[in-house]
Amino acid sequence: MRLLTHNMLSCNIKGVTNGFPLKLEADKWVTKEVDLNADFLRGIFPKIEWSALLAAARALGFAELPEQADASMLSSDDFLRRFHHALLELHVEEGALVCPETGRKFPINKGIPNMLLHEDEV
C-alpha cells in the first residue's frame, strides 16, 4: 500500500466521526521505484492532506518532507522528487491501519489493505 492510498482512506464504521487519518503501523515496507510524472504530481497535490502524508512518511522513516507545503513548491524539482518518493515509492507490504477514534485495526497483507467492515460495524 502506498501513501497515496493511505491519504484517501478513513475508518467509516457506523457512528465514527473522526476516522481520518488512520495511524500507520508498518511491519514490513520496501521502496519501489516509480517513474516520476510531474503533471500527475501537480494535478494530485491539491487533493492531498499534507499533515497525514507527513505523519505516514515519518512512520516509515522518511523525514524529508517540509512541515507545510503549498502549490508554489511544485516548481522545484527537489520538492517534486521528495513528494514523489513519499507518495508513490514507499510501499507497505505488511502492517495495519488503526482508527484514531476506536482503535479498530484494518490489516495490510501483501501490500493490500483490507477495508471491509464487519457485520456489526455496518
Where does this chain bind another protein (CB under 8 A)? 1-2, 4-5, 8-12, 19-21, 32, 34-35, 37, 39-40, 43-44, 47, 49, 88, 109-120, 122
Least distance between another protein and beta carbon 90 (Å): 12
Neighbouring residues of 31: CB distance < 8 A, sequence distance ≥ 6: 85, 89, 90, 91
Burial class from Cβ neighbours inside 10 Å (0-12, 13-18, 19+) for residue 4 reads: middle
Cell of 4: 497515496
CB of 34 to another protein, least distance (A): 6
Q: Which amino acid is at 81?
A: R
* Residue (65 or 87) nearer to another protein, CB: 87
Nearest approach, Cβ of residue 14 and another protein (Å): 9
